[in-house]
Amino acid sequence: TTGKPKGVMVEHKSVSNFCLMGETFGISSGSRVLQFASFSFDVSVGEIFPTLLSGATLYLGKKELFLSGDKFTEWLKDQAITTAFFPPSVLKVTPYEELPDLKTIITMGEACTSDIVKVWGKERTLINGYGPTEAAIGSTAGVCTPDMEKPSIGTPNSNERIYIVDDNLNLQPIGIPGELCIGGEGLARGYWNLPELTKEKFVRNPFIPGEKMYRTGDLARWLPDGSIDYVGRIDDQINIRGYRIEPSEIE
């Protein structure tokens, strides 16, 4: 993050829980999965472990290749990559190619737009995921189709709980925006050596005694079909290429 860096204490069980998503992502022993994210970014954990625990093959490349445009898509075709995690901003600038072997694309890290789904969601499964590091990589996921007016962030992942609440932590009805909070097995222990910030963000879960939930600072609302629509930030924080920026810190 920007400003004062903070460490998140993610437990092994939370990563193990995320690995259950391997089947949702279509990863099996014959899959060829792209390792796109940097090792310093939490999404890399979501690429590595579901792949290796499924007996699939992980393909590594250099940053220069990933940003090379046509050369990158040619490489994807030559390696017959079947599954890839991409930030939406990368898909926006990557030249479109048929890539018949690429069966599944998972977008994470920033908001996915309908124009991206219209281009890259044709003839394959495009899954839009959402989740902060504080809840172990990903907390929700949903399949997006080219006919969608706006991609949703899907429904809660296995053993994850999503609450959308008002300022007093009361549950919001369908269609009414509120703060998205996360509970369940994906929750981290807190922030390393930052007890005050941990207390502020990891609060008592008013819906399940003895448990905690994480206040994301994100606005969202439930849709009638049970999926979640991401609305934006409660504060003025913005997201640029996966990095969260506080404009007030720059000022």
Q: Which pLDDT tens digit goes with each residue over 62-121?
A: 989 998 989 999 999 999 999 999 999 999 989 998 999 999 999 998 889 999 999 999
Q: Give the model confidence (pLDDT) of 201-218 as tens digits.
A: 999 999 999 999 999 999
104-107 and 125-130 as β-strands: parallel, antiparallel, unpaired? parallel
In this model, does residue 4 exceed pLDDT 90? no
Q: Which of 96, 121, 93 is nearest to 107 (CA)?
A: 121
Domains of the chain, residue spans: 12-250
Which residues are within 8 A (CB) of 81 and not within 5 positions of it... i.e. 6 or more apart? 32, 33, 34, 59, 99, 101, 102
Q: Give the model confidence (pLDDT) of 43-57 as tens digits.
A: 999 999 999 999 999
Q: Give the model confidence (pLDDT) of 184-193 as tens digits.
A: 999 999 999 9
Residue burial 118-152, b: 16+ Cβ < 10 Å; e: rest: eebbeeebbbbbbbbbbbbbbbbbbbbeeebeebb
Residues 48 and 34: their CA atoms lie apart, in Å, by 9
What pLDDT is attached to residue 2? Answer: 54
Mean model confidence pLDDT for the chain: 92
Burial class of residue 207 (count of CB atoms within 10 Å of its CB; 0-12, 13-18, 19+): middle
The token duo for 29 is 């022993």
Residues 251 and 241: their CA atoms lie apart, in Å, by 20
The CATH H-level (homologous superfamily) assignment of domain 12-250 is ANL, N-terminal domain (3.40.50.12780)
* High-pLDDT (> 70) share of the chain, %: 97
